[in-house]
Structure 1
């Protein structure tokens, strides 16, 4: 018990919390940027302009089929971007490609009659997309989008091993170097696992409840 208490000191917990804050910061910024870029890519790939279709298709297929680990290395080492911005950029690049396909699937799930109805009322294509198509599509693709967000939060644990960024898992790894007893190392791993679980479970639960509420409202 004493060995465990030696690990869970205020100083260590504060160090873990700083790592957690960095994890949430990188995840939040990456998710916002990925959603914006992913939406643009989805609209481009669904559009009628052949050049934009090709451009979006090449980006999505190439990025999705290259491991995110490689993007982290590339942004950090090749372009020599500092650690935190490199993490944000690499996750934005990778996640935007995945979200683009999710969003495109959601857009394609909306009946063409919605567009025709909008045109008959004098809406432009942009207005139809913004006011009619996207609100309905979001309800259909929300669970998949939330799942991708959870993946981003978990995958930030790659950043310490690649670019020594002291996010949540990285902070725990640094602390583990100070302890040698199995129960102490296990305590740190358990603490980090519990933090990841609480955050991601809360997000997933919120997503499920919101989906059910929207489904009931649509009935």
Structure 2
């Protein structure tokens, strides 16, 4: 079946099968968060992006092979509510943006800075620090050597706009500037975007609206 990224709380995961990486997307309540399980096809090593909630659903998704790592995209509680339980069950190491780590109650083993590499087996991901939704939000970019890039944006980029900056003009300008420079700038239109809530999108679908977002201020 073709991957669409359309998932619902209580429903099955949707799986995006790439040549070197498998990406499983699942939704958990109560805030319709997305969690992503990445699996290196060569080694079987797995990494979870955002242990958002509902540890039972996430541990079922992870399965008996366990996970090596959990990356928390940012400090907001709906993105780490199940982190303690998932780490306790799997022994996974924890990673988060350096400036958000203090706001996550589960200790962060690896503090990420802009440009750091996060590996899942033989597959490298690049951390991009995006400031505005929170001080230390991290997106992860997989530059697939066999196709287009893939980017996991947390709450920094969605279909229709950047993440919530709570009507703070400086925070909005910072987030839009970082997203424009670090995501839209280097990555092509074909780049697939996996956000922290809701439907997926592509940079090509969103790029024509950057000026519109800038003008409206959110």
Which fold has the larger relative contact order, with Cα–Cα distance below 8 Å and residues 6 or more apart in sequence? 1
Query: One fold, TM greater than 0.5?
Result: no
Greater share of helix: 1
If you compute each CA radius of gyration, which structure gives the higher value, 1 or 2?
1
Q: TM-score, normalization: structure 2?
A: 0.29
TM-score of the aligned structures, taking structure 1 as reference length: 0.29
The structure richer in strand per residue is 2
